[in-house]
Structure 1
């Protein structure tokens, strides 16, 4: 469907299989509920204020993105009581590489077995203790 008068046209797609090839388009305010988008690709897009809720993002790759102000929370396997809960399921590890994370916060997270290598840790604290002081034996 094409709109020729620059007004937003609503397109509803229900219970079907489609491949959407959208280019140079404005899809602001669009909603996607209970759909499969495996192997989808977004390139040079503005996803400001995008919300992803209750999604399987396994093998997600984000490259060259600006994430300032991002709020990432409740990440991991479904908790007990969730319909998709599986007590035998294990979270696969995440990898952060060449990321600008200065002045970010990590709260109430399981960091068991986390490895930090070749990173600038100036001013980094854990529970209020400077990591530099710990490494230099000052504490």
Structure 2
């Protein structure tokens, strides 16, 4: 398995993520944690709270269509694994998000920017397990 090296696209995408996090903090005083935003859709504090959360989720879902309108091509996402593996991975991520009290976007993008010690620990754990998982899959299992 080869990992694509896309520095310009990554820089552009990362800049948009950072900009959206800053704008959400400036306008609503809220942290741009994707799982927290999604969870708040199902248990909103108010109608206004529900509306901004749905707007963010709809923005995430329509992103590929914006790429299509700009380039004429839909982004290609390939997952070289079974549907069962994707479901198990999703469940494990859900458990990790719950145990870590947040996701990579909340801790990694926003928490580190706010110099949160809890977020630093969470990101170190995320990254450590990511490195270990890639190593095991590529060099032990041979996937």
TM-score of the superposition, structure 2-length normalised? 0.20
Q: Structure with the greater relative contact order (CA < 8 A, sep ≥ 6): 1 or 2?
A: 2
TM-score w.r.t. the length of structure 1 is 0.20
Looking at secondary structure, tell me which structure has more helix per residue. 2
Structure exhibiting the larger radius of gyration computed from Cα positions = 1
